[in-house]
């Protein structure tokens, strides 16, 4: 593992333990070159996943991209970051356990929406507005009516 401070190619593992969510290994490392200490998180990846976009383009699954989109939906919401991290880990595990190496992007979108609905109604609507490509206020009203969320979102005001 390369040192983030000096770029030295080798580092020593000083401590290794499961992360708090149990989905990764947390390692404390020491660089023998500069003496810098840093932490890495290593996750087990069951298989390489390829995401098939609506356009037919194929891209490798990127857990960080998933985390960024969820972070945008939950921004300024009273949601515990630890719960968000557990949700992202659960979605990733579900995708890996589907038994397919190529998955449609819609599979990810639907899983995220399912988990966000359980986590926070406003974050769910935010994510849905981008995922379902809402263009006008009627799109929001129709979606909120279908989901029975109009009262929940109104209560947030």
Give per-residue pLDDT as tens, 38-73.
Answer: 999 887 655 689 999 989 999 999 999 999 999 999
Whether 22 and 82 map to the same domain: the answer is no
Whether 86 and 138 map to the same domain: the answer is yes
Bridging pattern class, strands 50-52 and 102-104: parallel
Whether 38 and 100 map to the same domain: the answer is no
Side-by-side strand order, sheet with 37-43:
12-18, 24-30, 37-43
Whether 20 and 88 map to the same domain: the answer is no
Rounded CA separation 118/156 (Å): 16
Q: How far is CA 126 from CA 66, 76, 97, in A?
A: 15, 12, 27
Rounded CA separation 74/57 (Å): 28
Whether 24 and 95 map to the same domain: the answer is no
Domain count, the chain: 2
Q: Would you say the C-alpha torsion 62, 65, 71, 74 has a positive or negative sign?
A: negative
Q: What percent of the chain has pLDDT over 70?
A: 90
DSSP label of 136: S
* Single pTM value for the model: 0.64
Whether 133 and 118 map to the same domain: the answer is yes
Whether 39 and 56 map to the same domain: the answer is no
Give the pLDDT band (50/70/90) at residue 146. Answer: confident
Helix (H) or strand (E) run with residue 127 in it: helix 121-131
Range 91-97 average pLDDT: 89
Side-by-side strand order, sheet with 102-104:
58-60, 50-52, 102-104
* Domain that residue 18 falls in: 12-43
**157 pLDDT more than 80:** no
Q: Identify the three-state secondary structure at position 123.
A: helix
Whether 77 and 144 map to the same domain: the answer is yes
Whether 115 and 137 map to the same domain: the answer is yes
Whether 62 and 132 map to the same domain: the answer is yes
Q: Identify the three-state secondary structure at position 92.
A: helix
Rounded CA separation 101/61 (Å): 10
Whether 151 and 111 map to the same domain: the answer is yes
* Within-domain flag for 115: yes
């Amino acid at each position: 593992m390369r040192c983030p401070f000096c770029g030295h190619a080798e580092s020593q593992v000083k401590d290794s333990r499961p992360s708090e969510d149990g989905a990764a290994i947390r390692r404390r490392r020491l660089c023998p070159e500069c003496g810098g200490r840093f932490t890495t998180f290593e996750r087990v990846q069951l298989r390489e996943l390829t995401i098939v976009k609506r356009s037919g383009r194929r891209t490798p699954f990127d857990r960080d991209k998933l985390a960024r989109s969820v972070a945008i939906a939950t921004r300024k919401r009273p949601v515990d970051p630890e719960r968000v991290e557990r949700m992202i880990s659960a979605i990733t595990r579900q995708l890996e356990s589907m038994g397919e190496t190529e998955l449609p992007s819609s599979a990810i979108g639907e899983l995220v929406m399912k988990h966000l609905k359980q986590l926070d109604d406003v974050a769910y609507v935010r994510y849905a507005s981008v995922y379902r490509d809402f263009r006008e206020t009627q799109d929001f009203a129709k979606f909120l009516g279908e989901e029975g969320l109009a009262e929940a979102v109104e209560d947030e005001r």
